[in-house]
Each structure stands twice: as C-alpha cells, then as structure tokens.
Amino acid sequence: MADSEIETAVTRALEDAPDRNFTETVDLAINLRDLDLNEPSNRVDESVVLPSGTGQETRIIVIAEGETGVRAEEAADRVLSGDDVADLDDDEAKDLADETDFFIAEEAMMQDVARHLGTVLGPRGKMPDPLGVDDDVVETVNRMKNTVQVRSRDRRTFHTLVGAEDMGAEEIADNIDVILRRLHADLEKGPLNIDSVYVKTTMGPAVEVA
C-alpha cells in the first residue's frame, strides 16, 4: 500500500493533465544527489516489476529453440532461433532492438546472442535476461510485461514509466512506491541520495512527490 502523499501527488498530476485524444503515459522523474555517476557502480540500473503493471503494451522477444521456443510463442511477441539471430544483418538487428522492450534468451544461447547482437543490444541496455533450464518461459514473459527498466546512466536526472493515465491513482502510487523502495535499498545513502521526485503525464505539469 503506497504512502498517501504519493497517491495525492498522482491524483493531482492526473487531474492537472490537459485533455488529449490519446492515453498519456505517467512518468516518474528522479533527481539524484551526492553520487559520482562517472563511477559505473554508483549508477542506477534496475529491472523493477510493477505490481499494477505498466498500462502499456510491452514488446518482448524470446530467443529459444525446441520445446521452449514452441511454448514461448504463447506469450512472446516474437520467437527467434539461433539461426534467426545469426542471419540478422546490422540494420535488421538495430531495428529489432529499437522496437523491442525486453529480450529473453535461453542460457545456453547467451554466448551466441552476445557474439551476434552484443554490439547492438549492449549499448542500448537490452542484453537478454537469461532463461534457466528450470524457468517457465511463459511465466517469465508475463512477468517481464509488467517490468520497467530504471536506469540513470551518468545523469543525475532520469525518468521511468510508472503507468498510464487511465489507471487508478492508487495503482500508479503503488508502482511508484515499489520503485522508490528499491532505490532506497540500492543507493549508497538510501533516501539521502534522492534530491527530489516528480510525477507527471506525458504532456502534463510535474507534481512533486513528497
């Protein structure tokens, strides 16, 4: 259950959003302090499963073969075999990376993926999540559909998706709460490394989260 102050801020952000003919996303802007982000170990780079989901379509590609590949077709947007990966040229690989949110690959195929796609996926922060032999591929894909990547790189201010404006304020607040708890646990000085946090719709004004 999220803090009531978070829900109040979300409610205000939703109410202040201008009317649009499309459903806006809701984003969280996080400002860090007292961290040397030139040092990679200080950067935020987390995959966070949102309890209320993203409110958006999340495109996921699974790289797998055999029975796992067949099962992946139930849930993934696309399934690639090892040969499919090897046959991609640079332009095709870049297009695939840009239009895909997350990649999942069987552990046994990770080395081949790194060889063929590492130079494209690595810089984009989209190297596949490894799928172990005992992992359920359908369950993994469904979990990833509710996942966001919270990544600062070397910037003190960064953004992450926390929902869509047609979701309830309480649902979005719960998503924000999970992200902030993860940051508090992972940052060197916890909450002291967070300068400020704002929530806003795509085109709406930013509202500070107390």
- Of 128, 144, 160, the residue at which a domain comes to its end is 144
131 and 152 assigned to the same domain = no
CATH number at residue 166: 3.30.190.20
Look up the domain containing 133 and give its range: 60-144
108 and 133, same domain (yes or no): yes
Q: What is the pLDDT of residues 56-94, one digit of tens each?
A: 999 999 999 999 999 999 999 999 999 999 999 999 999
Same domain, 127 and 103: yes
- Shared-domain flag, residues 72 and 125: yes
Question: pLDDT for 163-207, tens place per residue?
Answer: 999 999 999 999 999 999 999 999 999 999 999 999 999 999 999
- pLDDT confidence bin for 2, thresholds 50/70/90: low
Residues 109 and 121 in one domain: yes
DSSP line for the chain? ---HHHHHHHHHHHHHSPP-SSPPEEEEEEEE-S--TTSGGGS-EEEEE-TT--SS---EEEE--HHHHHHHTTT-SEEE-HHHHHH--HHHHHHHHHH-SEEEEEGGGHHHHHHHHHHHHTTTT-PPEEE-TTS-HHHHHHHHTTEEEEE-TT-SEEEEEEEETTS-HHHHHHHHHHHHHHHHHHSTTGGGGEEEEEEEESSSPPEE--
Among residues 95, 120, 144, which one ends one of the domains?
A: 144
pLDDT of 21 over the 90 cut:
no
Domain boundary among 123, 144, 165: 144
